[in-house]
Structure 1
Amino acid sequence: MSGVPTTQRIAALNALREPYTIVDGHPIPVIKDDDEVLVKCQVIGLNPIDWKAPDFGFGIPVLPYIAGRELSGRVVKTSATSSRFKEGDNVIVISTDYRDLRKAAYQEYVVSSHFNVVKIPPSLSLRSGATIGVAFVATALALGISMGVDFSSVANGPDLLKLVKNVDRESLPEDIRAECLDNILPSERALPGDWVIIWGGSSTSANIALQLARLAGLRVVTVVDKAKHGLRLSTHEVLRPDLLIDSHDPDRVVEILKSNFGEQLRFALDTRGRESASALAKALRRLHNADSSPPSPPGTPKGTKIIRSHLVGLTGLPKEPVDESLVYHTVPIKLYHEVPSVGEELSLWLERLLGGNFLVTPDIIAVDEGFHGINKGLDRMRRGEISGGKAVVTLE
């Protein structure tokens, strides 16, 4: 570990609803397990959670707190089991394990489990590498687990639902077991040709979800503010959906979806919040027969099979209760950092997707420098200035 100092600079949150404070002389995080690596942080990707959590008082397990969920940088120390990496490798670190402050991005040196590290191909810059990790993990799990999309035909990707069902139930975190194992039936899995609605097409998560869905053969409806993003998305070579709907009037969105798709529409991903998720629930909530015939009357025989709809909320779900035709899903993000077989499959798949140019990384629309740039970038996000792309902070 030559050239690594004993202390570092960090950005720490000392109290809720305060800016991050720059602290010098903080200890370098220590590798504790054989499957961990140490990475020098060079570019930080900013995410909405980094300002929403301190502003609204959630997702902060301890104070002072070090935040930050994704970065790119250079490997400076490896361990015996991290044979995929060597010192000097350029990598992406995806830190979904927000309770382990050694893994947080807002510091000069970061520890990560090797199965949460992705090699950056020569064709990709460190800045671009810092834009994609969290969105990729969240949307791959949303599509692959909650909707049952099989990615095995896409750059030798994983069938995540099959992979998780082969994991011992007791080894899964208790709070995500039902989502992983019980919330979608084999007969309900999304298949090539099915439609999926993505609400919030200007967000990084929505853009990655669209790309992954299209690669797997799904057809995509994007709901977005057309006044801001309509022209860009409708003419974009990669992000252009099969149907683009203006989000201005949620009731009108529901009407358009019901009129155009009816029983064909069973899958939706919301990236915006509870209001838009509620609109999607209205569009999806109906009885589905296995043969896609019209909804059955109240006297439906008990043996009639109902193919349910599935709604995934990245930032919230409707208050309205579900019924027998609709299932609400939250993304089991813990799979990535607590189940090594899943984390490694996703990380290796992202390496192949980036190396083979299957995925287009988000546009970088704001760049700030140094640790003081973290607060500047997050203030831009608070003011709504970061839309349709990503904000990053460079440390070198």
Structure 2
Amino acid sequence: MTDRKDHIVAATAQSSLAVPISQQVLLLHAPREPYHLQKDYSVPALAHGRELLVRTRAIGLNPIDWKAPDYSFGLPELPYIAGRELAGDVALYGTGTSRLQVGDRVLAISTDYRDLRKGAYQEYVVAWDYNTVRLPPQVSYEAGATVGVAFVAAVLALGVNLGVDFTAVEDGPDLLKLVRSLARSASTPLPADIRDECLSGIAETDRAGPGDWIAIWGASSTSAHMAIQLARLAGLRVAAVVDTARHGLRLAGHTDAYQAATTTCSWQPDLLIDSHDPERAVSVLRANLGSKLRFGFDTRGRESAQSLLQALACSEGPSQAQSSPPSPPATPRPSVSPPLSHLVGLTGLPKGAPPPGGVFHSVPIKLFHEVPAVGEALSVWLEKLLASGRLVPPVVIGVETGLESVNAGLDRMRAGEIRGGRLVVRLAGDLL
């Protein structure tokens, strides 16, 4: 590891972005406590040639940032620095970085919650270069801070779990092909706990493609916002299940903020269904799509995932070609006819084994930060999508100012005040 003084000298030499020795951070000292502001905390040092130091300009608040301390999970150590996504400026880059330069406006995506240097709740954040995305001029820091985690979750769910090929969309990746080719290389081992999902989660003959239907339950979430756009860009047809009293007008395409944002991106679903009565929603899906609905993506939790499962083709009865439940993800599945139905649960899956003809999937989020080739493929593609305007960030519905305002922002999220968009914290003194 290079000495901290060397980093500061290097940063000063490379640009006008001088890096101080200390900074302000938010620390969580114990579960069920608010975050505490500390003003004299060391600026993190780079430990690898592909790491960057980013000066934080705006932070996107995520539900995990209040749920983790409230329910005491996802806290690998205390005191803890939370925060999963931010936008800012590259202040320093390692010797192995070539794609990004000091001064670049970027969004940094931290799915690696165990490394406190990468937590967004601080003035200077370490990020892998392959988890960092240049912002085009038309995308503000605030908007950039809303995109990252939702995009990663959505694209991995579609591209790996469901096998969607994005090569026809701005030269995007075929993630399933990429991951399985990497698995054959001894130099790029896949994390053990997601290896089976990546290699045998879905058969080549089952992959979702143009014309296929996907139902997205919880379509008001930011991950769903990304998933709808990506699925439509890849040629899939989308049934969105959402509380239409709160979000129907926006998803139907009649919100001025969205109309002003883009003219090239299709983010409206093909079928909009009210989730207020889950049984009715299932009936509508089955009546309209029947056996055509083989793919589901749930963003809410186990209960709604169970409802979505009832709408998939596998719920209509045992497959004639397969009279027993498919083997678990750890075992490769033989190709069957008719194809299997696939349910991805972002925050939970139904209890028990899937029904005959059905498969459950969990999003292999580790691919983004533990497999550089995957992380870089997604980051480079996201740059293209944002630059072309084909992917629209979520609407920013509130901006707080200063790290000390994070607790108030998270309280608003706890109270259910933030719906249909994202809440962002702008660091004090920054004009974005």
- Give yes or no for TM over 0.5: yes
Asked if 2 retains the 8 angstrom alpha-carbon contact of 1:53 and 1:60, the reply is yes
Choose from 111, 122, 125 the match for 2:140.
Answer: 125
Which residues of structure 1 form unaligned runs of 5+? Answer: none
Length, aligned pairs only: 391
User: Which residue in 2 is equivalent to 1:211?
Assistant: 229
Aligned residue for 1:248, secondary structure, equals: coil
Contact map agreement 1:150 1:160 (CA 8 A) in 2 = yes
- Number of the residue aligned with 2:311: 283
How do 1:180-329 residues align onto structure 2 when only pairs under 5 Å count?
A: 180-236=198-254, 238-284=266-312, 286=314, 296=320, 305-329=337-361
Counterpart among 29, 50, 53 of residue 14 in structure 1: 29
Alignment-derived partner of residue 350 in structure 1:
382
TM-score normalized by the length of structure 2: 0.87
C-alpha distance in structure 2 between counterparts of 1:262 and 1:251, whole Å: 15
In 1, Cα distance between equivalents of 2:64 and 2:336: 43
**SS where residue 368 of structure 1 aligns?**
strand
Q: Distance in 1 between matches of 2:369 and 2:345?
A: 20
CA deviations over 1:139-179 (Å, ceiling 9, x no partner): 00000000000000000000000000011366100000011
Question: How many angstroms does 1:376 deviate by?
Answer: 1.1
Deviates more, 1:263-272 or 1:169-178: 169-178
What amino acid is the match of 1:177?
A: R
Aligned counterpart for 2:126 among listed residues 90, 111, 119: 111
**Partner residue in 2 for 1:144:** 159
AA at the equivalent of 2:120: A
Counting only pairs closer than 5 Å after superposition, residues 56-71 of structure 1 correspond to structure 2 as 56-71=71-86
Query: Does the CA contact (< 8 Å) of 1:287 and 1:296 recur in 2?
Result: no
- CA deviation string 1:170-206 (max 9, x = no partner): 6100000011111100000001000000111111111
Percent identity for Structure 1 against Structure 2: 56
The counterpart of 2:63, out of the listed 48, 51, 60, is 48
Alignment-derived partner of residue 93 in structure 1:
108
Contact 1:191-1:217 at 8 Å conserved across structures: yes
Match of 1:180, as an amino acid?
A: C
State whether residues 109 and 148 of structure 2, in contact with CA within 8 Å, keep that contact through their aligned partners in structure 1: yes
Residue 407 (structure 2) aligns with: 375
Residue in structure 1 matched with residue 419 of structure 2 by the alignment:
387
1:307-346 Cα offsets, whole Å, 9 max, x none, are 1111111111111421331111110000000000000000
C-alpha displacement of 1:249: 0.9
Q: Match for residue 366 of structure 1?
A: 398
Give the counterpart of 1:77 among 92, 115, 118: 92
Distance between the aligned counterparts of 1:183 and 1:74, measured in 2?
A: 38
In the TM superposition, residue 233 of structure 1 has moved relative to its aligned partner by: 1.3
CA distance in 2, matches of 1:168, 1:80: 27
Contact kept, 8 Å, 1:288 with 1:308, in 2: the verdict is no
1:327-346 equivalences under 5 Å are: 327-346=359-378
- Aligned CA RMSD, in angstroms, stands at 1.9
SS in 2 for 1:202: coil
Residue 315 of structure 2 contacts residue 355 of structure 2 at CA under 8 Å; is this kept in 1?
A: no
Distance 2:39 2:346 in 1: 35
Moved more, 131-140 or 254-263: 254-263
TM-score (norm 1): 0.95
SS in 1 for 2:106: strand
> What is the one-letter code of the residue matched to 1:157?
G
Match of 2:7 in 1: none
How far has the Cα of 1:305 moved from its partner? 2.4
SS at match of 1:75: strand
- Conserved 8 A contact 1:71-1:93: yes
Q: Give CA deviations for 1:237-267 in whole Å, capped at 9, x if unaligned.
A: 5432100000011111111111111110000
- Give the CA deviation at 1:61: 0.6
Which residue of the partner structure matches residue 6 of structure 2? none
Q: Which moved more, 1:75-84 or 1:188-197?
A: 75-84
Q: Is the 1:288–1:325 contact (alpha carbons within 8 Å) kept by the matching residues of 2?
A: no
Q: Is the 8 A contact 1:309 1:327 kept in 2?
A: yes
Equivalent position SS for 1:99: coil
Maintained 8 Å contact 1:288/1:306:
no
Counterpart secondary structure, 2:252: helix
Question: In structure 2, what is the Cα distance between the partners aligned to 1:303 and 1:348?
Answer: 33
Determine the C-alpha separation between the residues in 2 that align with 1:112 and 1:96.
Answer: 10
Structure-2 change in CA distance of 1:216 and 1:48 (3 Å): same
Kept in 1, the 8 Å contact 2:214–2:294? The answer is: yes
Aligned partner of residue 58 in structure 2, secondary structure: strand
Task: Name the CA shift for 1:315/1:231 in 2 (closer, same or farther; >3 Å).
Answer: same
Aligned to 2:172: 157
Q: Is the 8 A contact 1:196 1:268 kept in 2?
A: yes
* Closer/same/farther in 2, CA of residues 29 and 304 from structure 1, 3 Å limit: closer
Partner AA of 1:274 in structure 2: R
Which whole-Å CA distance do the structure 1 matches of 2:47 and 2:336 have between them? 54
Answer whether contact 2:25 2:122 (CA < 8 A) is retained: yes
Between the aligned partners of 2:221 and 2:335, the Cα distance in structure 1 is: 42
The range that moved more, 233-242 or 167-176, is 233-242
- Tell me the CA shift for residue 287 of structure 1: 7.2
Distance 1:270 1:155 in 2: 26
